[in-house]
Structure 1
Amino acid sequence: MKTAIGISANNRKIVSDQLAILLADEFVLYTKTLNAHWNVEGPDFHSVHVYLEDLYNESAKIIDVVAERIRQLGHYVSGNLKDMLKLTHLSEQYEGENTSAGYYKELLSDHESIIMFIRGNIEEFNDAHKDAGTGDFITGLMEKHEKTAWMLRSHLK
């Protein structure tokens, strides 16, 4: 069935393709957060383990809403990990120590990378592709990532 939401098919395709990259980044961040949750060690284990659980639960929600936004624009979503690894800006590998500081630094870097990717798309979605809805949607996601980045940064002080 045709998607008639006031945005041209070409613009919806371009926006959906950018959202697919964002989805891939979010999915890699989710798996890295799970990895940190499972493997963190140290005297602060319990509080870090609980905090990381909160983070990966929030990531799971973000993954779902990004995928649903792609569907709202009339495109399908690949749940194939191979496809996501081709699209992501992030590295799925973590080479650091299994400490809260090591994981927090890695996750902070990934959140900041996602923030920059989102920030680079807001005006483009709004102006060039006439999709203020998705521009607003990703602005909200960016704000969530900014808050998480602040929290992670505060743990590292």
Structure 2
Amino acid sequence: MAKASAVVAPPIDIGIPADQRQAIAAGLGRLLADSYVLYGKTHGFHWNVTGPMFNTLHLMFMDQYTELWNALDVVAERIRALGHPAPFGGAAFAALASIPETQGVPPALEMVKELVMGHEAVARTARGVFELADAANDQPTADLLTQRLQIHEKTAWMLRSLLEG
């Protein structure tokens, strides 16, 4: 019986040098970690919010965690397209994320405040990867970052509006 020979994949050649792909993937790994921590926080707040704004916040948080959940795949798949493994798991995300976990269950408006800070942190992380993507002429990553920035900045504004006035 003939032995099947293993097919070796050719090296990645998408027009971005390996060192730049590595740096961009690392930045996207931080974005993935921040997004995952924010997803978990938002989902937990959805479960635990109470008070006079319960229905409004419960529904708003559901929309937000659903959007974040869907974004995780997009970011992870871009990391994979750049030729690197996407980080996963609590320990990896804790090491990479700039957003702290929440201890206990804060009051509703404190939840809103924490989510404002979380969305702004994700926006800062995304913005920090732009320079790397631009230097590498990496339009797909730049496009992804632009989309994430629009969502996080708008969400932060909407949440912040609940705390003003």
- TM-score normalised by the shorter chain: which range applies? over 0.9
Q: CA deviation at 1:112?
A: 0.7
Counterparts in 2 of 1:142 and 1:94: CA distance versus 1, 3 Å: farther
Moved over 3 A (4+): none
Q: Aligned pair 1:134/2:148, yes or no?
A: no
Q: Aligned pair 1:112/2:120, yes or no?
A: yes
Given that 2:119 and 2:152 are in contact with CA atoms closer than 8 Å, whether structure 1 keeps it comes out as: yes
Q: CA deviation at 1:130?
A: 3.1
Could you tell me how far apart the structure 1 residues matched to 2:125 and 2:28 are?
10
Could you tell me how far apart the structure 2 residues matched to 1:89 and 1:130 are?
26
Aligned to 1:150: 157
Q: CA deviation at 1:40?
A: 0.5
Q: How many residues align?
A: 155
Q: Aligned pair 1:125/2:133, yes or no?
A: yes
Q: In percent, how many aligned pairs have the same letter? A: 40
Q: Deviations over 1:65-111 (max 9, x none)?
A: 10011011111112221111111111012456231x11110000011
Q: Aligned pair 1:43/2:52, yes or no?
A: yes
**1:11 aligned residue (20, 29, 47):** 20
Aligned to 1:82: 91
Residues 21-40 of structure 1 correspond to what in structure 2 (within 5 A)?
Answer: 21-40=30-49
CA RMSD of aligned residues (A): 1.4
Higher Rg: 2
**1:98 aligned residue (93, 104, 107):** 107
**Unaligned 5+ runs, structure 1:** none
Q: CA deviation at 1:137?
A: 1.5
**Which one-letter code corresponds to 1:43 in the other structure?**
P
**Which one-letter code corresponds to 1:116 in the other structure?**
R
**1:65 aligned residue (74, 84, 88):** 74
